[in-house]
Structure 1
Amino acid sequence: MTLPHTPPTDSPATPGALQLHDARPFFDKALAYGVAHGIIGADRLAAIHTDAPKGMVQIARYFGSEFLRPELEKARDRMVNLVSLYLLDTTGGDLHEAAVSLRDNSFLSRSKGGSDMLKRLIAMPESSNFGMAGFADAETPLLAVWSLRSHADYRAELARRTQMATAIGAARWLAQQYELDEDELEAAGADAEAVIRTGLLMQALAPRAVDLGEWPNAVGFEKIVTALRKKKVAAPATLRLPAGLPADLRGAVEAQCATVLSDLPKLLDAATPLRNLLRPTGTFRARYFLLDDPLAEVDEYHRSLDALDADEEPPQPASKTWTKTVQGNDDEHSLLTLFLCLAAGVPKKTLLTEKTAASLVRKVRKSGWQPALAADFIGSHAPGVHRQDYNTLWTSFVQDAEKTLLSDMDYQMHDALALLRRECNVVGD
């Protein structure tokens, strides 16, 4: 009686089973197996012996110099690894199939196959950010690194980059539906996942926008949400995928549905300040991609002035104290730094050093703070048109930061200083 042939493989044994570890490259194992089982004969061995030195010289020349012994030795390692990568990937670790592949094809073709695999890997996006595309001149140094990496490393990186490529493909497709040029995504450094989430959000909140080819800017999106809040529209329990979405992109889009569904209730809740959610440096806004349109913001400002009743006075300008204190540094980080200084009772600044920030935290923990002082300063000195926004910004910061700033458990102030570095303007001493 004969037993059926079970191809030997280089795959891991059953978990918990004892197994001898063979550290040889897969090429060595396949070659030894082929010779031992009569698959690879003397003629093929001779051909491999002839091709191998040629390949070593070519690889050494590509990555450096073929005249230096260390470069040739490293080239040998690269070549063996490239052949091993190719054989492992094309045969699934089956030694019999790998030996047949070595018998039926030239040694250099197997090496080139491994090199081509790595070149395709390197050409794939390393990040899902549209502004971080790779450069052609980076191929050689990356190939030098990857030609010595294991097949497991290759497979893990291939899976990661494939996921990135699929996300970028889905984001491109969604952008095209809204007639949004990819150049705008690159210029803004948009993350593919953020584009996908925004597309899903618009599908839920304003499905007709896609027919108009209008990707939302911050002002337009705020108007959409404000109108829905007035109508007391409830957040949907499920999301409908865009019509015509290619099947191979569905997974990348569906992966973002949970995040959008969790954000929708907050977005439609009238009790949650919308400006706070949509502030440019906020975590909520960072999950989505809204176009920056300064003209739309200016236009909205003028419309708000036009909407004033005839008896109402126009918003008050900033006071001289505000202008002198802020000195044009009116970004959110600078303003929060100023407001924090006011609440802590220290000199007013829009920029702190690490040392000053640590002193401020110690003072707050020793003597407490008075957030109302900052609110009073905003009410008395800030430009009238921005007072509500600044109050919202400060109130949100106080709610989020108070526990950390006053914590008795953060002895080394690591959490407090990390908070200030993230939310305020803190630079090294």
Structure 2
Amino acid sequence: MSDTSDTGAAMPAQALQLHDARPFLEKVLVHGVKHGILDASRMAAIDADAPKGIVQIARYFGSEFLRPELEKARDRMVNLVSLYLLDTTGGEMTQAAVSLRDHSFLSRSKGGSDMLRRLIALPESSNFGLAGHADAEIPRLAAWTLRSYADYQAELARRTHIAQAMGAAEWLAEQYGLDVDELESAGADAEAVIRTGLLMQVLAPGARDTGEWPHAVAFEKLVMAWRKKKPVPPQQLRLTPGLPADLRAAMQAQCAVVLADLPRLQDATVSLRTLLRPLGAFRARYFLLDDPLAELDDYHRSLDTGEAQGEPPAPASKTWVRAVQGNDDEHSLLTLFLCLAAGVPKKTLLTEKAAASLVRKVRKAGLHPALATDFIRAHAPAVHQVDYENLWNSFVQESQALLTSDHDYQMHDALALLRRECNVAG
């Protein structure tokens, strides 16, 4: 490095800045003493209180009789006081020094501890099924007593957002006669509840008065009725009337997702039965009640209607029976259809190695969805052919670009897709 002193050149003022890595508490103490805010008697009081606090913290998190525990407790106490002073003064050192002067040192440490307790009391996940299942408080508090103020602020913002989303979801559910216990037992995500509530404002604004949250069959009928009206999708969503002001932001955060889904819901060529299949990506974004009896009744009614109009539907061919081997769940069927479209041996279960080989073949020779469609039409039981075609077409629309993409050269995303949608043995 050249020495600029010989040439008389001055280094720009912003070219080099020193990073002060000292804890905020240490900086405040130095500042307070230097500016006469903390006199000798106040510093002596702090020196007397600090060891008491260290022993208390060590006892709470482990043992006050082990040197490593005491050293860690000292770090925790320094960080707790620093957190509290940063949060209450905005990092202004004179105000922080005055706080240390006017209040006991242990009270500042307790203030930091109370901040962290409030933080970890906020929900970590917006899934109602996970509520109340967080780890014990002491281990979580122990971890956070050593985290930075920036970490605290980021986590506080994240958890506050989650709490607001859960509050909005609870309020929405209450409007339709659902209580929190039902959301918890169903493992509902707060965001999914909010999106469904927003969607209901488009499909059936008056449904809230009936006190009914939709199950899949009822929701499908709502969408069919909405399609018949041939509506123009709204540019903005109408929030539920009566929504408290503090919950508006949480609901508005989900509007973009719902607006993006409306065109697919409106498209009459898109099968609702396929769109709403239980493990599909669309269904995962919304919360619909499980009502097996309603779905079974709807299924039998569709069979009765079909049989009343003509001859009984044709059964599956022997080729279909051999190919499926009794595995007619969605994952198995999609695995079979994908094998057909890729030109590999027909299987309803793939090993990891076979799945990777299939993806490589698709990227080399392409995917031919019509091969699977032709197989369905020729061999599947007639009563299910439309549903199977819609299931396959929906999968192709959502997955073909990823399966054939050269950008995912290590196939991580493609294989993750197959594990989620098809049958891939671990």
Q: Post-superposition shift, 1:330? A: 2.6
Is the Cα–Cα contact under 8 Å of residues 316 and 379 in structure 2 kept in the other structure? yes
- The runs of 5 or more residues in structure 1 that have no matched partner are 1-14
Residue of structure 1 equivalent to 2:6? none
Is the Cα–Cα contact under 8 Å of residues 176 and 212 in structure 2 kept in the other structure? yes
TM-score (norm 1): 0.89
Kindly provide the amino acid, as one letter, of the partner of residue 83 in structure 1.
Answer: V
| Mean Cα deviation higher: 51-60 or 394-403 | 394-403
Residue of structure 1 equivalent to 2:91? 93
Residue of structure 2 equivalent to 1:227? 225
Aligned equivalents of 1:412 and 1:102: distance in 2?
56
Residue of structure 1 equivalent to 2:359? 361
The 1:409/1:253 distance shift into structure 2, 3 A limit, reads: closer
Matches within 5 A, 1:1-20: 19-20=17-18
Residue of structure 2 equivalent to 1:236? 234
The 1:145/1:349 distance shift into structure 2, 3 A limit, reads: same
Residue of structure 2 equivalent to 1:338? 336
| Mean Cα deviation higher: 309-318 or 138-147 | 309-318
Aligned equivalents of 1:155 and 1:83: distance in 2?
15
The 1:231/1:177 distance shift into structure 2, 3 A limit, reads: same
Q: Post-superposition shift, 1:283? A: 2.0
Is the Cα–Cα contact under 8 Å of residues 57 and 72 in structure 1 kept in the other structure? yes
The 1:377/1:57 distance shift into structure 2, 3 A limit, reads: same
The 1:311/1:102 distance shift into structure 2, 3 A limit, reads: closer
Kindly provide the amino acid, as one letter, of the partner of residue 107 in structure 1.
Answer: F
Aligned equivalents of 2:362 and 2:183: distance in 1?
43
Cα deviation 1:92-132 (Å, max 9, x = unaligned): 11212111211121111111110110011011011111122
Aligned equivalents of 1:410 and 1:130: distance in 2?
34
Is the Cα–Cα contact under 8 Å of residues 126 and 134 in structure 1 kept in the other structure? no
Aligned equivalents of 1:170 and 1:357: distance in 2?
42
Cα deviation 1:362-399 (Å, max 9, x = unaligned): 44456666544433432344333322110111123334
Is the Cα–Cα contact under 8 Å of residues 356 and 411 in structure 2 kept in the other structure? yes
Aligned equivalents of 1:21 and 1:395: distance in 2?
58
Residue of structure 1 equivalent to 2:10? none
Cα deviation 1:392-425 (Å, max 9, x = unaligned): 1112333444455455676655554344233321
The 1:20/1:399 distance shift into structure 2, 3 A limit, reads: closer
Matches within 5 A, 1:167-246: 167-246=165-244
**Are residue 303 (structure 1) and residue 301 (structure 2) matched?**
yes
Cα deviation 1:15-34 (Å, max 9, x = unaligned): 96865432221111222222
The 1:128/1:368 distance shift into structure 2, 3 A limit, reads: closer
Is the Cα–Cα contact under 8 Å of residues 40 and 103 in structure 1 kept in the other structure? yes
Is the Cα–Cα contact under 8 Å of residues 317 and 379 in structure 2 kept in the other structure? yes
SS in 1 for 2:136: helix
| Mean Cα deviation higher: 292-301 or 75-84 | 292-301
The 1:101/1:289 distance shift into structure 2, 3 A limit, reads: same
**Are residue 248 (structure 1) and residue 242 (structure 2) matched?**
no
Aligned equivalents of 1:184 and 1:244: distance in 2?
22
Aligned equivalents of 1:241 and 1:399: distance in 2?
31
Kindly provide the amino acid, as one letter, of the partner of residue 236 in structure 1.
Answer: P
2:278 to 280, 284, 287: 280
The 1:408/1:182 distance shift into structure 2, 3 A limit, reads: closer
| Mean Cα deviation higher: 365-374 or 350-359 | 365-374
1:146 to 123, 126, 144: 144
Aligned equivalents of 2:404 and 2:196: distance in 1?
37
Residue of structure 2 equivalent to 1:389? 387
Kindly provide the amino acid, as one letter, of the partner of residue 258 in structure 1.
Answer: A
Residue of structure 2 equivalent to 1:10? none
SS in 1 for 2:354: helix
Q: Post-superposition shift, 1:39? A: 2.1
Kindly provide the amino acid, as one letter, of the partner of residue 56 in structure 1.
Answer: I
- The runs of 5 or more residues in structure 2 that have no matched partner are 1-12
Is the Cα–Cα contact under 8 Å of residues 77 and 148 in structure 1 kept in the other structure? yes
Aligned equivalents of 1:232 and 1:310: distance in 2?
30
Q: Post-superposition shift, 1:140? A: 1.0
Q: How many residues align?
A: 414
| Mean Cα deviation higher: 370-379 or 265-274 | 370-379
Is the Cα–Cα contact under 8 Å of residues 305 and 314 in structure 1 kept in the other structure? no
Kindly provide the amino acid, as one letter, of the partner of residue 389 in structure 1.
Answer: D
Superposition RMSD on alpha carbons, in Å? 2.5
The 1:115/1:17 distance shift into structure 2, 3 A limit, reads: farther
